[in-house]
Structure 1
Amino acid sequence: MNQIKPWLTVYGLNLLGAVLILAIGLWLSKLISKLVRRLMKARALDPTLIAFCGNLIYASLVTFVIIAALSKLGVQTASLIAVLGAAGLAVGLSLQSSLSNFAAGIMMIVLRPFKAGDFIEGGGIAGTVELIHIFSTRLKTPDNRTVIVPNAKLLGDNIINYTERGTRRMDLVIGVSYEDDIRQVKQTLLDIIAEDKRFLTDPAPVVALHEFADSSLNFVMRPWISVKNYWPTYFDTMEKIKLRFDEAGICIPFPQRDVHLVPAPENAD
């Protein structure tokens, strides 16, 4: 007992200190993680970013507490930290592409170039955003396919957000014959726009003669419309233009080729 008592005194106190460090450290880690989550929620940040940052802070603090507790027990934590650092470096090198996707995901959540429900084009894909993850973004294409796009590829390319501003300009180029009355053509196109209440009056629509092409006079038709009505109105407008032009006798030219047959000379072999 005389030999055990000094050992119990030294190591018992160290063990008690390690347990206290572990218990208090875990409690403080949860408390700090909750405080960070509350502060981020108060700033109306993205829920995905809030959850990720909260978990990351908690895991980092727990790691620090465990190392401190082991150090209190006399464990040489310097070598342990070196091993963890080397392992982290090896994992980072092997997961370089994943880490780039991770960093891009954080940037997208912070900068918010788009949100769930927006129709975007980026990374060679066009579709509606369904979910934004840390490593990838899930899109639904117009033909109902699901496409998973890595965040690094998406953020590294031009991103076109068709939904954010709420309205779009419909750009149409209409070709007519050189023999047609351009004033009649312009008025017909303006009437088509005025008759459809889905088109906006502000900004005002534009109908103008655009260019003298090889076989046609090309008019531009540029009305504004809400994003949700864009494609149904586009298809209806194209059909109305053809029907109204037929009624008014306006010709839509198309490429034609004249073939001239030259008779061969009589003395030809």
Structure 2
Amino acid sequence: MENIDIQKYIDMALLYASEYGFKIIAALIIFLLGKWVAKKLTAFIKKMMHKAKIDKTLVEFSESIIYFTLLLMVVIAALNQLGVNTTSFVAVFGAATLAIGLALQGSFSNIGAAVLIILFRPFKVGDVIETGGVTGEVTDINLFSTILTPVDKRVVIVPNSSIIGANITNFSNREQRRVDHVFGIGYDDDLKLAKETLMEIVKADKRILSEPEPFIAVSELADSSVNFVVRAWTLTDDYWGVYFDMLESVKLTFDEKGISIPYPQMDVHTDKQ
């Protein structure tokens, strides 16, 4: 009796294996081969878009959309091979998508924000921007977030919806940037000498542009110093080099010429009785 039951299960297993085994294997082959083709085709399309000199931001965004669409087609083809009614599957998938969409409204708002970033292009991959309290180079824009890399090489992931809802400062959108500094000298120092010295420092730096012309003027008679505003234009790529080098040059040159850079202080006078 036991042998008959065992044989029955064996026969049933062989029946199901013969009926569905080849379908499962075929579905796996379709999925694995289709996934490989999807990757290769996406990489080929990306290469063609680069050759066509399409904007890098649009290329990176399109890559995600193309690969996801191709992979979805592969999954449907694999399920169809298994005998699953893909029409019903699409309906179920649509209902599931609606339910997931309601649960993940925030994530879909990020996708909507990504579309707005691509359409209106407030920045692109490679730009240096400030948004959401973070300043860094844009290294990637995907469906859900924008990846920023600050100067210290951290990786900061900012949700796209946070970017669209905040102020965006793009430091790379123009070929030129203005370096702004304020330098103070003592009230007893030679004002004309200090102004001439600042102009000499500015003109000695070949990275500073002659047009627009540099601007130097007294901006404030402060409590402890006479303050000069210095404004000079440079190429965007040279901005930080000029910014820091000017600070060092002014300090060293003022020291050589005996021009003081005062710090906040208070003189107290007492009356003798």
Question: TM-score w.r.t. structure 1 length?
Answer: 0.70
When residues 80 and 231 of structure 1 are mapped into structure 2, their CA distance, relative to the original with a 3 A threshold, is closer
CA distance in 2, matches of 1:122, 1:254: 33
Q: Give a deviation string over 1:191-219, Cα, whole Å, max 9, x none.
A: 00111101111111100111111121111
Matched AA of 2:203:
A
When residues 57 and 130 of structure 1 are mapped into structure 2, their CA distance, relative to the original with a 3 A threshold, is closer
When residues 217 and 259 of structure 1 are mapped into structure 2, their CA distance, relative to the original with a 3 A threshold, is closer
Worse overlay, 178-187 or 252-261: 252-261
When residues 110 and 242 of structure 1 are mapped into structure 2, their CA distance, relative to the original with a 3 A threshold, is same
Matched AA of 1:50:
S
Given candidates 155, 162, 171, the residue that maps to 1:162 is 171
Q: Give a deviation string over 1:152-181, Cα, whole Å, max 9, x none.
A: 112211111111212210100011112222
Given candidates 100, 105, 115, the residue that maps to 1:106 is 115
Q: Structure 2 matches for 1:249-268, cutoff 5 A?
A: 249-258=258-267
Structure 1 gaps, min length 5: 1-33, 70-74, 264-269
> Paired residue for 1:241?
250
Q: Say if 2:226 is the partner of 1:217.
A: yes
CA distance in 1, matches of 2:206, 2:230: 16
Q: Structure 2 matches for 1:115-264, cutoff 5 A?
A: 115-258=124-267
Give 1 or 2 for the bigger CA radius of gyration: 1
CA distance in 2, matches of 1:261, 1:93: 74
Deviation at 1:222, TM superposition (A): 0.4
Structure 2 gaps, min length 5: 1-41
Contact 2:60 2:140 (C-alpha < 8 Å) held by counterparts: no
When residues 43 and 130 of structure 1 are mapped into structure 2, their CA distance, relative to the original with a 3 A threshold, is closer
Q: Among the aligned pairs, what percent are the same residue?
A: 46
Three-state SS of the structure 1 residue aligned to 2:243 is helix
CA distance in 2, matches of 1:215, 1:172: 18
CA distance in 2, matches of 1:89, 1:58: 21
Q: Structure 2 matches for 1:14-163, cutoff 5 A?
A: 44=54, 46-54=58-66, 84-163=93-172
CA distance in 1, matches of 2:152, 2:67: 37
Matched AA of 1:172:
H
When residues 262 and 208 of structure 1 are mapped into structure 2, their CA distance, relative to the original with a 3 A threshold, is closer
CA distance in 2, matches of 1:237, 1:81: 64
CA distance in 2, matches of 1:180, 1:262: 28
CA distance in 1, matches of 2:222, 2:270: 28
CA distance in 2, matches of 1:90, 1:198: 58
Question: TM-score w.r.t. structure 2 length?
Answer: 0.69
Q: How many residue pairs are counted as aligned between the two chains?
A: 225
Q: Give a deviation string over 1:135-162, Cα, whole Å, max 9, x none.
A: 1111111111111111111221111111
Matched AA of 1:47:
V
Contact 2:149 2:155 (C-alpha < 8 Å) held by counterparts: yes
RMSD, aligned α-carbons: 3.5
When residues 43 and 144 of structure 1 are mapped into structure 2, their CA distance, relative to the original with a 3 A threshold, is closer
Three-state SS of the structure 2 residue aligned to 1:199 is coil
